Amino acid sequence: MSFDLLIRNGTVVDGTGGTSYQADVGVSAGKIVEIGKRLAGKAQRIIDASNLIVSPGFIDPHTHYDAQICWDPQVSSSSWNGVTTVLLGNCGVGIAPCRRDPQSQDVAAWDLVNLEAIPIEVLKAALTWDWETFPQYMDAAQQRGSAINLAFLAPLTPFRHFVMGPAALERAATDEETMQIKALLRDAVAAGAMGFSTTICEGDIGFQGKPIACRLASREELGAYADALKELGKGIIQIRLTQNPGAMTESEYQLLELLVGRSGRPITWSSVRIREDRPDKGLDVLKKVDHLIKCGAIPQVTCRPLMVELNLHEPLLFSSRKCGTRLYNRPVEEQKKLYRDPEFRKALRDDLSKSPIQRVAFFGHPDEIEIVQCVADPSLTGKSLTEVAKMRNQDPFDALLDLPLEDDLRTRYLVPLFASEDTLPILFNDPRTLIGLGDGGAHLDQICDAGYCTYLLGQWVRERKALSLEFAVKRLTYDPATLLNLHDRGRIAPNCAADITIFDFDKVDSPKKAVYRNDLPGGRRRLVAPAEGIAHVIVNGVPVHQDNEYLGATPGIVLRSR
């Protein structure tokens, strides 16, 4: 038999959770056509995978590359880490549909500035705006080309803007508007969107620092949009549901129940975590919603400790607090005036103290908050907030606010949230959950967990032996493929798409701390997640990365809902 690509002598971990085995893998016309020992036949290209793992390409179900695909065909950092398919459009935020006028485009761009920390200069320079409707947006992505496969959720916010205009930021939709939005969502899913997404969380703010538009959707609206999926008989819903990931309120529970019942489709929701101060709470949530999980309400969990880089110019960790929203979309001098105001400081302190997460992060362990940049005094870099506060004879929270005032808010802190790794295996080993929350393309200067796949393999499988290699690969491939009804991906099997990641199990990993690169359009910087031990990334039978070098190919396709 003749092959386009022949992978020889690898250890195949096929994605099903079954025992690994030695085999060759033959690929033709973008598909796996034969698996066996010592396959006979010629091949246009041969990869020697001796001493390497041959796995299905990883599938990331939670990304925000909606804008980045306009300027980055690699879809980094995900592709560096062996991801061959990403799901975009999560959490209700996106840039399509969007009317072709400057005002509408400005609103969509500023949603990404405030929620995803993408610089407005980057968006103005690099967004192509070669679409108006959502189907046109997906078609434009296909025509533009990508190294890896792209799947899209229809984010509710731009749909509300498209129909309601400025009123989308002020109120719920009328019955007539709801029917118009529902029709657009239905058209998007009929054209191949994987479903729709939304959020109800207070920290999600967009244009002009206002609640992102989908947060204003009423329960009646959301029920109508869920009906659209039931009528089509396809698609999923993704929702950022829990304000406190370590708990679930009765209102949040009722909304999840509503979406499950009205849609009859899978729901994936963010998120379940186990809090350090209340380690029983995360498991309580799983117990509470177990019967909904059995109906398809799948919670997302992470396999990495959450480390957030905080700067007081774009203070992501303050956005969920009422007084914190006053800081957004203001010049630095106005922000500095607020931070100096004793009344504002007291309000911010009180507001943060009301949140179990922020209370632990800012007041419980100031010794774990690290200064990662201080332009005014570089000697403080690497020191803890506790150390700096003692040096300055200050309360740690006052030092947190005062230090950035000395360098125009350029000081940066590394703040651990859910930093304990001891409880993570409880959740990511639970088959009721979906590993995700990488947020690739979002929070560009504050968080980058896009390397979670390689981190899981390196830290949790190899180093800590918290789960088997076979089960870990299943969690990263077959499980998200099943959620998205991509039954020809997520497995190494005949007739499956040849999305394949080949890695060195002795080396595979991604650092716990992300690193900066000045590789955004215009040389602006972002956090990235480098990969270690990824030997080859193959998409639809075409090699796109080799030993962490991009080969320039764009064989990725837009995957459509079925």
pLDDT of 501: 99
558 is a domain residue: no
pLDDT of 399: 96
Q: Judge if 426 and 405 occupy the same domain.
A: no
533 is a domain residue: yes
DSSP-assigned states of every residue in 482-547: HHTT-TTSSS-STTSB--EEEE-TTT-B--SS-EEE--SGGG--EEE---BSEEEEEETTEEEEET
Residue pair 329/114 in contact (Cβ under 8 Å)? The answer is: yes
Q: What gap in Å lies between CA 14 and CA 162, rounded to an integer?
A: 43
3-class SS of residue 467: coil
Query: For the chain, what is the mean pLDDT?
Result: 95
Report the amino acid identity of residue 295. Answer: C
pLDDT above 90 as % of the chain: 88
| Region for 91 from its dihedrals, namely left if φ exceeds 0, alpha if ψ lies in -120 to 50, beta otherwise | left
233 is a domain residue: yes
Residue pair 511/529 in contact (Cβ under 8 Å)? The answer is: yes
- Please write the tens of the pLDDT for every residue from 524-549: 999 999 999 999 999 999 999 999 99
Report the amino acid identity of residue 439. Answer: D
Confidence of residue 245 (pLDDT cuts 50, 70, 90): confident
Q: What gap in Å lies between CA 385 and CA 186, rounded to an integer?
A: 50
Q: Judge if 268 and 220 occupy the same domain.
A: yes
DSSP assigned state of 363: I
248 is a domain residue: yes
DSSP assigned state of 59: E
Confidence of residue 277 (pLDDT cuts 50, 70, 90): low
CA nearest to 410, candidates 469, 335, 477, 461: 335
Mean predicted confidence (pLDDT) in 269-285: 81
pLDDT above 70 as % of the chain: 99
86 is a domain residue: yes
364 pLDDT above the threshold of 90: no
Among 436, 467, 484, residue at a domain's last position: 484
398 pLDDT above the threshold of 80: yes
CA nearest to 320, candidates 485, 200, 476, 474: 200
What is the bridge-based pairing of β-strands 549-550 and 542-546? antiparallel
Q: Which domain holds residue 165?
A: 58-305+419-484
pLDDT of 247: 87
Confidence of residue 373 (pLDDT cuts 50, 70, 90): very high
Q: Judge if 295 and 357 occupy the same domain.
A: no
421 pLDDT above the threshold of 90: no
Give every CB contact of residue 331 below 8 A, 6+ residues apart in sequence: none
299 is a domain residue: yes
- Please write the tens of the pLDDT for every residue from 212-242: 999 999 999 999 999 999 999 999 999 999 9
Q: Judge if 29 and 77 occupy the same domain.
A: no
Q: Judge if 221 and 365 occupy the same domain.
A: no
How many domains does the structure of the chain reveal? 3
Among 416, 439, 464, residue at a domain's last position: 416
418 pLDDT above the threshold of 90: no
Q: What is the dihedral of CA 497, 499, 504, 510, to 10 degrees?
A: -150
Does 453 or 365 have the greater pLDDT score? 453
Q: Judge if 66 and 170 occupy the same domain.
A: yes
Report the amino acid identity of residue 229. Answer: L
- Please write the tens of the pLDDT for every residue from 128-147: 999 999 999 999 999 999 99
358 pLDDT above the threshold of 90: no
Q: Judge if 359 and 267 occupy the same domain.
A: no
Q: Judge if 270 and 376 occupy the same domain.
A: no
156 is a domain residue: yes
pLDDT of 223: 98
513 is a domain residue: no
Q: Judge if 195 and 87 occupy the same domain.
A: yes
pTM score > 0.85 for this model? yes
SS3 of the chain: helix, strand, coil, percent, to 5: 40, 20, 40
pLDDT of 441: 97
Confidence of residue 419 (pLDDT cuts 50, 70, 90): low
**What are the phi and psi torsion angles at 505 (to 5°)?**
-65, -25
Q: Judge if 214 and 322 occupy the same domain.
A: no
Q: Judge if 424 and 356 occupy the same domain.
A: no
Residue pair 532/64 in contact (Cβ under 8 Å)? The answer is: no
Q: What gap in Å lies between CA 21 and CA 13, rounded to an integer?
A: 7
Give the CATH number of the domain where residue 227 resides: 3.20.20.140
Give the chain's length: 562
Among 436, 468, 484, residue at a domain's last position: 484
Mean predicted confidence (pLDDT) in 176-195: 98
Q: What gap in Å lies between CA 352 and CA 374, rounded to an integer?
A: 23
389 pLDDT above the threshold of 80: yes
Q: What gap in Å lies between CA 74 and CA 71, rounded to an integer?
A: 9
Distant-in-sequence contacts of 289-293, Cβ < 8 A, 24+ apart: 289/248, 289/253, 289/256, 290/432, 292/256, 292/257, 292/260, 293/432
Q: What gap in Å lies between CA 360 and CA 67, rounded to an integer?
A: 34
Q: Judge if 294 and 412 occupy the same domain.
A: no
β-sheet bridge partners, residue 205:
211
Tell me the two tokens of residue 542: 């075409």
pLDDT of 49: 98
- Please write the tens of the pLDDT for every residue from 249-268: 999 999 999 999 999 999 99
Q: What gap in Å lies between CA 364 and CA 473, rounded to an integer?
A: 36
328 pLDDT above the threshold of 90: no
pLDDT of 436: 96
CA contacts within 13 A on the Cβ side of 459: 17
Q: What gap in Å lies between CA 81 and CA 550, rounded to an integer?
A: 12
CA nearest to 326, candidates 199, 169, 210: 210
- Please write the tens of the pLDDT for every residue from 84-110: 999 999 999 999 999 999 999 999 999
3-class SS of residue 353: helix
Give the CATH number of the domain where residue 543 resides: 2.30.40.10
